[in-house]
């Protein structure tokens, strides 16, 4: 029997559907989309600003309704011009871009400024995107809202921003809950700590959601496969690898971070007997026992993407690093269904 992290898009055809409907925004490669589908939900479609990511999303997920545009434009579409199904959603999902709340860099200096999240996209004020997302929620009135973001949102000065977000949830008629979750406790071979805002519409009088996950860790040696590209012996990366590779590969807690931070100059050494660190789109992941980068198969498995995912012309690590691990979202979606939507 294959482990949960080793799966195929073809497997979705065998997942019993529960009839509950989801629409997602800031969809990127569709990590959360695949998680909902693995949990039996129907994902109707998405909103996405990036043309390349939209092509990839359509290729892999065959959505009914797609909107290639900024979310600010989507929320201004007259209700009469939107599909009726979008006004009968069980879950509105979204992962508003969160780089301005990351704990790396001078994040406060970015607040209030307009940036292109990626080359080729429109400039946006990234710290406003969460409120744009909630404007869409107010428009569509789904039964529940799920929004994922970085843990940095509840650290330091950003906590005031979170208070404003929670107030907006309540203002539009929802009862929000905050969950700080680590994917390593959810069967994902990755220490990815993320904040989830999950809210139920007040008029439904649903109970408080309980989320506790304690699955055994999946180590790098469990998912490791293939040969990664060789580190250039003349490079700075190689010198870092020589300096930082452990002399004793058997020490330390398997869930501990390597140096107190997720990365050191964006270079991360992965040990066989530990859970891999957070996979970011710009990280450099190196094997400790060989002067190699990890393989693309490793990247796909660390992020729990399906083995037959079509990345088209995009980088595997970029798409994976920008997405929610499908298995992480599957675990959350199953609990939402069981506790809120399942017929008792």
Given 98, 184, 299, 328, which residue is catalytic? 98
Angstrom distance (rounded) from CA 23 to CA 63: 10
Is 98 a residue of the active site?
Answer: yes
Please count the other Cβ atoms lying within 10 Å of the Cβ belonging to residue 227: 12
**Distance from the Cα of residue 255 to its chain's centroid:** 20
Q: Which two tokens stand for residue 272?
A: 């066989």
> Helix 326-336 to helix 31-38 angle, to the nearest 10 degrees?
50
CA distances from residue 302 to 129, 174, 225 in whole angstroms, order as listed:
28, 34, 11
Nearest by Cα to 194 from 247, 256, 146: 146
Neighbours of 239 (CB within 10 A): 12
With contact defined as beta carbons under 8 Å apart, do 332 and 211 qualify? Answer: yes
Q: How far, in Å, CA of 186 to CA of 275, rounded? A: 12
- Listed residue (131, 117, 141) closest to 163, CA to CA: 131
Element (H, E) at 285: strand 284-287
Query: Would you state the structure tokens that stand for residue 73, as one six-digit string?
Result: 């434009």
Q: Which two tokens stand for residue 145?
A: 């809202």
Catalytic residues: 98
């Amino acid at each position: 029997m294959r482990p949960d992290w080793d799966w195929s898009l073809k497997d979705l055809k065998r997942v019993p559907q529960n009839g509950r409907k989801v629409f997602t925004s800031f969809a990127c490669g569709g990590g959360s989309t695949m998680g909902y589908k693995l949990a039996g939900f129907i994902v109707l479609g998405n909103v996405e600003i990036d043309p390349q990511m939209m092509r990839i999303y359509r290729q892999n997920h065959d959505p009914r309704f797609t909107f290639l545009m900024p979310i600010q434009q989507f929320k201004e579409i007259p209700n009469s011009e939107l599909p009726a199904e979008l006004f009968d959603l069980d879950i509105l999902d979204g992962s508003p871009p969160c780089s301005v709340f990351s704990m790396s860099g001078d994040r406060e200096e970015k607040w209030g400024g307009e940036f292109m999240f990626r080359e080729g996209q429109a400039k946006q004020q990234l710290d406003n995107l969460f409120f744009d997302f909630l404007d869409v929620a107010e428009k569509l009135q789904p039964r529940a809202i799920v929004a994922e973001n970085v843990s940095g949102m509840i650290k330091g000065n950003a906590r005031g921003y979170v208070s404003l977000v929670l107030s907006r949830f309540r203002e539009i008629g929802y009862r929000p809950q905050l969950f700080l979750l680590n994917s390593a406790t959810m069967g994902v071979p990755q220490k990815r700590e993320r904040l989830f805002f999950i809210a139920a519409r007040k008029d439904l009088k649903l109970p408080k959601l309980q989320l506790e996950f304690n699955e055994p860790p999946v180590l790098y040696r469990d998912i490791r496969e293939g040969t990664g590209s060789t580190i250039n012996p003349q490079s700075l990366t190689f010198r870092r690898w020589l300096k930082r590779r452990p002399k004793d590969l058997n020490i330390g807690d398997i869930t501990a971070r390597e140096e107190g931070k997720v990365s050191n100059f964006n270079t991360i050494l992965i040990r066989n007997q530990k859970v891999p660190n957070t996979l970011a789109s710009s990280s450099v992941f190196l094997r400790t026992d060989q002067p190699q980068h990890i393989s693309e198969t490793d990247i796909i498995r660390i992020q729990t993407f399906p083995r037959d995912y079509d990345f088209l012309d995009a980088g595997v690590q970029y798409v994976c690093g920008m997405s929610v691990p499908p298995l992480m979202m599957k675990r959350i979606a199953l609990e939402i269904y069981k506790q809120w939507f399942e017929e008792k």
